[in-house]
């Protein structure tokens, strides 16, 4: 490998590393499970796994969920409030 090729490879690896850092800083990752469900990792100790139609039903309720959370804000806790 020439010096130029090594520098190009190093630059490529640095860019790849930065991209990985950005996705891991969010803390959430997606994966298709063995049974074909969509798993979201990073919300808690275990992944949240639902099938496609379940995710669609849940996503259709986004506005209702936000309204419910706002209406019940006093009774809802954040994860660090135990």
Strand partners, 38: 32, 50
- Structural domain tally of the chain? 1
Whole-number pLDDT of residue 10 = 93
Whole-number pLDDT of residue 24 = 56
What pLDDT, in 10s, does the model give residues 28-82? 889 999 999 999 998 888 999 999 999 999 999 999 999 999 999 999 998 765 4
Q: Which of 58, 62, 21 is nearest to 40 (CA)?
A: 58
Assigned token pair, 71: 């209406």
Question: Are 49 and 37 contacting, i.e. CB atoms less than 8 angstroms apart?
Answer: yes
Is the residue at 78 inside a domain?
no
Is the residue at 76 inside a domain?
no
- pTM confidence score: 0.62
Q: Which of 56, 24, 20 is nearest to 37 (CA)?
A: 56
Q: Averaged over 17-23, what is the pLDDT?
A: 73
Domain that includes residue 54, residue range: 3-71
Whole-number pLDDT of residue 9 = 93
First to last CA, the chain: 56
Is the residue at 77 inside a domain?
no
């Amino acid at each position: 490998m020439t010096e130029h090729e090594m520098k190009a490879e190093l630059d490529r690896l640095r860019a790849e590393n930065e991209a990985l850092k950005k996705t891991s800083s969010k803390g959430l990752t997606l994966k298709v499970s063995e049974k074909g469900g969509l798993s979201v990792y990073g919300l808690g100790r275990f992944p949240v796994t639902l099938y496609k139609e379940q995710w669609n039903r849940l996503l259709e309720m986004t506005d209702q969920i936000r309204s419910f959370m706002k209406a019940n804000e006093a009774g809802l806790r954040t994860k660090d409030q135990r």
